[in-house]
Amino acid sequence: IYKPIAIGHPFIAVANAGYYRDLHNLGFETFGHVIDESFDSIEDNQIRLNRIAQIVEDLSCNDLASFLKECYNRCKYNQQHLAQARDQEVSTFPKRLSEFLSQHE
């Protein structure tokens, strides 16, 4: 999912139930203001996949330029949030790795 986020694209993730909830918990924003993201709570994989396919089909029949415009601010926010998370991870990883290794000697 980080690839479309890094390049500032909107996305619809075909993933397990709760994936969008987890993205939100990590501070990312999704596109529930323009698509119905209720599929994220569907436990049955086939039903969830069918619902996602229907959403993608509906989007492809509508004005994609308008969809992209509606998503622009969230895409930019996610892009910046990912860059900040990356920088934080890079700065804290060596210390966390060292602590982990010393605990598991």
Q: How confident is the model at residue 89 (pLDDT cuts 50, 70, 90)?
A: confident
pTM: 0.83
CA dist 60 and 62 (Å) reads 6
Closest among 4, 8, 12 to 57, alpha carbons compared:
12
Q: How far apart are the first and last CA of the chain?
A: 34
Widest pairwise Cα distance in the chain: 58
Asked if 44 contacts 6 with a C-beta cutoff of 8 angstroms, the reply is no
- pLDDT tens-digit series, residues 7-40: 999 999 999 999 999 999 999 999 999 999 999 9
- pLDDT of 105: 83
Q: pLDDT at residue 69 above 90?
A: yes
Report the run of H or E that residue 39 belongs to, with start and end.
none
Q: What is the pLDDT of residue 6?
A: 97
Residues ≥6 apart with Cβ < 8 Å to 41: 17, 18
Query: Residue 4 gets which letter from DSSP?
Result: H
Q: How far apart are CA 92 and CA 8, in angstroms?
A: 25
Token digits of residue 25: 């918990």
The residue-averaged pLDDT of 76-86 equals: 96
The pLDDT, as a whole number, for residue 34 is 95
For all residues of the chain together, what is the average pLDDT?
95
